[in-house]
Structure 1
Amino acid sequence: MTELNNDVPNFKPGDSVKGTVVKLEDKQILVDIGYKTEGIVPLNELSNLKTENPGEVVNVGDELELKVKKWSDDEIILSKKALDSEKAWNDLEERFESQSIFEVEVKEVVKGGLVADVGVRGFIPASMVETYFVEDFSNYKGKTLSVKVVELDRGKNRVILSHRIVEEEAEAAKKNELLQSIDEGQVLVGTVRRLTNFGAFVDLGGIDGLVHISQLAHEHVDKASDVVSEGEEIKVEVLSVDRDSERISLSRKKVLPGPWENIEENIKPGQTVQGLVKRLVSFGAFVEVLPGVEGLVHISQIANRHIGTPQEVLEEGQKVEVKVLDINENQERMSLSMKEVEQDNEEKEIQQYTKDDEESGFHFGDIIGDKLNKYK
């Protein structure tokens, strides 16, 4: 840089000078450059951005580095914008090559995006502002954003910046870190983000896992929305993690109290309960007595008479009365009997006949004998 003084009569356009702002006017500023004549920086040479008055860019007393636009004894025209642009382009080219992240301040909200001051006019298209859709950008003016240069053309004075890419890279890094920290068997808290016909996707803090519909509850679930809702926080257990495909399988069922938990507080041996035939097999019938709790009625316990197959007496979906013979909570097993319910009912009938006989004087010996013979 060449310093100006009274002994040097002039400089040619393109030279750089240093000066101090001495006065702000409506359409220009005056700068003391150490010469008999003060330099003039027109408003349109102050900044690459749209400027209404010089006070938006500089203040009296600021020291500036400027480029000479015109030099004569009568007038010295200088430019802050030209020198800023040159430095800015060099800096932007370096950042573009290195793909470095830097911060900018949003100076304008324009149709189609945002304008930032990067020494030159930097444009952030609406599609490159956030990872999500933004309807109104009015509150972005004055906001500081971390950006990367995604397109650069000095000849066309074109600088395209992206905040979205920075956010996406940060999310990807966070997602990878989280993925590496999750292991099978962990119990986590997540937020239900999306429901489908095959389950629910749960956000675990940056990465989604799937709770298959079969893992939403102990009982059968027709629709995920029957047991969970979008936005709900739920506790889940990690079933498996595939880091290559970034797939995480989760279970809500495993962290819920099982239907067999404390079952003996609700059902006791000897108790008669209502049940629903769920499955018929060659050796008996599985009957659901509580949601998620099934017991086996062995084929020998289905009827008082001999039967070849359970289908001779029962069909799936049929409601039946069963007597609890045995419960094992740890093994989740329950033995049931329909035959004993029938026997108990017949014994009640016999007792009633006996009572009627004593009260009325009639004799029902033959009837009682017939019924008792069934148990011989």
Structure 2
Amino acid sequence: VECIKDISYVPRQERYGVIIQTTFELQKFNDILQALQEQRPGEYRVERTICLATAQRQQAAVKLAAESDAVIVIGGRNSANTRHLFELVQKHCRQAYHIETASELSSDMLRGCNKIGITAGASTPDRLIKEAILVMENMDFESMLNESMEVEVYPGKVVNGTVIQLDKDGVYVSFGYRHDGLIPYSEWSQTESAEELQNSIKVGDEVEAKVVPGSTKSDFVRLSKIKAERDAAWKNVAELPEGEKRPATVKVLRIIKNKAKNIVGLAVAVEGVEGFMPASHVELRRVEDFSGYIGKELEAEIIEVDLEKKRIVVSRRDLLRAEAEAKRKAYKEAKEARIAAAKEARAAAEEAAYNSVEEGKVYTGKVVKVAEFGLFVEIGEGLVGLVHNTELSWDRSVKAADVAKEGDEVTVLVKSIDRENKRVALSIKATLEDPWKVEASQFHIGDILDVEVVRLLAFGAIVKLSDKVEGLVHISEIAPERIEAPSDVLEVGQVVKAEIIKMDLDSKKIGLSISKVKRDAEKNEFRSYMGSKKSHLSQNLSEQLESLEK
């Protein structure tokens, strides 16, 4: 962590170990440690690894800065020791300068200063310090003192000026200094071109601008209107409490890339200042080309504000997630509503369909599904019944696929309706004439037929009258005499004469008798014999024979 705000990135744990860079500012460390222990309570072990000599140097620098009009910090810009020292004296002296060599010194830096302090990093060679002192001793401080009566100018100062001239390089302004200021068109506006600005800016216009680094005593003072406006805008940006965020409408200004030319995010205008939107926070999905976002206004949330560093970070990620979740929820609710409405409509249609059909009546329906166990047939809107395989045909070997396919119309009879369990039993077979009855109706009681024995049972024999019709010869009707089993007299495949003695077409039962055919044959033979000879028997005997015939 470098500052108190960085504590928000420290995870919450039970124990913490703390060490310090040897050149870190002691007071700043103490402030951070105190805030750390308040925001992340736990067990702490602190190793105060700040170099004693460094701490003493920092204390001396703070004292020097408080007593000086300007402070020069000498040392490498990549030296952490020197950088921390410079940050420290900046807090106590407005005119603090960090230089690496004496060649960077100029009279402009020290104009209006009576007391000048010099300090250096621990690793800064003594020769560099001596060179800086020598250069400053040879400066014309008397001339500088006279010039100090003019406007004091230093990088970062905001000045008010008047436009005195415009040319191809930019806008020249006078602001009470011995050198005029120059505002390049690119530092006047980011949205208007140089041509547009030349037509709109007039000599005599008042402007507020900020002094930027890069000016010399013989050059125009470089100024920036944009930076001054940004500084003014930052005064209106509110702090953001830790863990909170606030909504904002942002406008995309440009694409930001790192040194490796990789896109890291977008620069956006937000609350009057320039903010940063990380690439991963632009959309929920990965974006390959950000060029289409430039100039667009987007709804976002401010997730970080650092007024000290003038840093503001915005994100669309949580907004997009919430929007996606709202859409998903709305879609789910709409889907559930559609399903409920469709279910209700089906129930109403089904109820109407149930009321439109009756058991025992015949209807025409459409096959909606062919299954292994039968056909599903819609006989009314929303009312589907089942024709089981056993109800497809009088031929039990017929399967559903043999009868119909999806979309075919079939005639069915409603066998039963179970409203509670939502089941309707249908029959195609019941709408067809029974082929057994058709064929059996050609036979009559008293018919004598040549029949084939097809099965022998314990109580009789099954005989075949035709291809579709079979009958039963009871064991008592097989032979005139008593037999123990049908197999004593008959065998499968044997053809015998039998007479139909009973018929019940509704029950599909036909009874036959073999013994009756034999008895009738014997009677006929006896009658024929008795009719061919004259009787010499007595009257009593004739009567007895007639009685026998009967």
Q: CA deviation at 1:145?
A: 1.9
Aligned amino acid, residue 109 of structure 1: I
Look up the match of 1:254: 343
Q: After superposition, what is the alpha-carbon deviation per residue over 1:228-253, rounded to whole angstroms, capped at 9, x for unaligned?
A: xxxxxx96537xxxxxxxxxxx5585
Look up the match of 1:349: 439
Q: TM-score, normalised on structure 2?
A: 0.37
Aligned amino acid, residue 140 of structure 1: Y
Distance 1:344 1:263, change over 3 A: farther
Looking at structure 1, the residues matched to 364 and 219 of structure 2 have their Cα atoms a distance apart, in angstroms, of: 111
Question: Quick check: 2:210–2:225 contact (8 Å CA) kept in 1?
Answer: yes
Look up the match of 2:23: none
Look up the match of 1:87: 232
1:115 correspondence with 2:275: no
Question: Quick check: 2:181–2:222 contact (8 Å CA) kept in 1?
Answer: yes
Looking at structure 1, the residues matched to 226 and 335 of structure 2 have their Cα atoms a distance apart, in angstroms, of: 58
Look up the match of 1:65: 208
Looking at structure 2, the residues matched to 272 and 54 of structure 1 have their Cα atoms a distance apart, in angstroms, of: 87
Q: Secondary structure at the match of 2:337?
A: strand
Distance 1:153 1:367, change over 3 A: farther
Look up the match of 2:173: 31
Whichever structure has more strand as a proportion of its residues is: 1
Aligned amino acid, residue 80 of structure 1: K
Q: CA deviation at 1:147?
A: 2.7
Q: CA deviation at 1:143?
A: 1.2
Look up the match of 1:244: none
Q: CA deviation at 1:141?
A: 1.6
1:142 correspondence with 2:280: no
Looking at structure 2, the residues matched to 156 and 267 of structure 1 have their Cα atoms a distance apart, in angstroms, of: 85
Deviates more, 1:71-80 or 1:95-104: 71-80
Distance 1:53 1:337, change over 3 A: closer
Superposition map of 1:1-376 within 5 A = 9-13=150-154, 14-21=156-163, 23-33=165-175, 38-42=180-184, 45-46=187-188, 53=194, 59-61=200-202, 63-68=206-211, 75-92=220-237, 94=239, 99-111=245-257, 112=263, 113-118=265-270, 121-152=274-305, 158-169=311-322, 175=326, 206-209=329-332, 236-237=336-337, 254=343, 257=346, 260=350, 262=353, 269-271=360-362, 288-290=376-378, 293-294=384-385, 323-327=413-417, 332-336=422-426, 344-351=434-441, 366=500, 369=503, 371-372=505-506, 374=508
Looking at structure 1, the residues matched to 298 and 241 of structure 2 have their Cα atoms a distance apart, in angstroms, of: 17
Identical positions, percent? 27
Deviates more, 1:343-352 or 1:121-130: 343-352
Aligned residue-pair number: 281
Aligned amino acid, residue 348 of structure 1: V
Question: Quick check: 2:150–2:176 contact (8 Å CA) kept in 1?
Answer: no
Looking at structure 2, the residues matched to 145 and 96 of structure 1 have their Cα atoms a distance apart, in angstroms, of: 23
Distance 1:27 1:139, change over 3 A: same
Question: Quick check: 1:29–1:54 contact (8 Å CA) kept in 2?
Answer: no
Question: Quick check: 1:235–1:255 contact (8 Å CA) kept in 2?
Answer: no
Aligned amino acid, residue 302 of structure 2: V
Aligned amino acid, residue 299 of structure 2: S
Distance 1:30 1:267, change over 3 A: farther
Distance 1:83 1:339, change over 3 A: closer
5+ long unaligned stretches in structure 2: 1-148, 258-262, 404-410, 448-468, 470-498, 511-550
What is the root-mean-square deviation of aligned Cα atoms in Å?
5.7
Aligned amino acid, residue 349 of structure 1: E
Deviates more, 1:18-27 or 1:107-116: 18-27
Q: CA deviation at 1:144?
A: 1.5
Looking at structure 2, the residues matched to 156 and 51 of structure 1 have their Cα atoms a distance apart, in angstroms, of: 28
Looking at structure 2, the residues matched to 82 and 102 of structure 1 have their Cα atoms a distance apart, in angstroms, of: 22
Distance 1:348 1:235, change over 3 A: farther
Q: Secondary structure at the match of 2:250?
A: strand
Q: CA deviation at 1:60?
A: 0.6
Distance 1:90 1:166, change over 3 A: farther
Distance 1:147 1:322, change over 3 A: closer
Aligned amino acid, residue 83 of structure 1: A
Question: Quick check: 1:105–1:142 contact (8 Å CA) kept in 2?
Answer: yes
Aligned amino acid, residue 210 of structure 2: K
Aligned amino acid, residue 167 of structure 2: E
Distance 1:369 1:64, change over 3 A: same
Q: CA deviation at 1:326?
A: 4.6
Looking at structure 2, the residues matched to 16 and 169 of structure 1 have their Cα atoms a distance apart, in angstroms, of: 43
Distance 1:319 1:329, change over 3 A: farther
Looking at structure 2, the residues matched to 90 and 124 of structure 1 have their Cα atoms a distance apart, in angstroms, of: 21
Aligned amino acid, residue 267 of structure 2: V
Q: After superposition, what is the alpha-carbon deviation per residue over 1:277-331, rounded to whole angstroms, capped at 9, x for unaligned?
A: 9899xxxxx984449724598x9x99x9xxxxxxxx99x9898997423557798
Distance 1:265 1:170, change over 3 A: closer
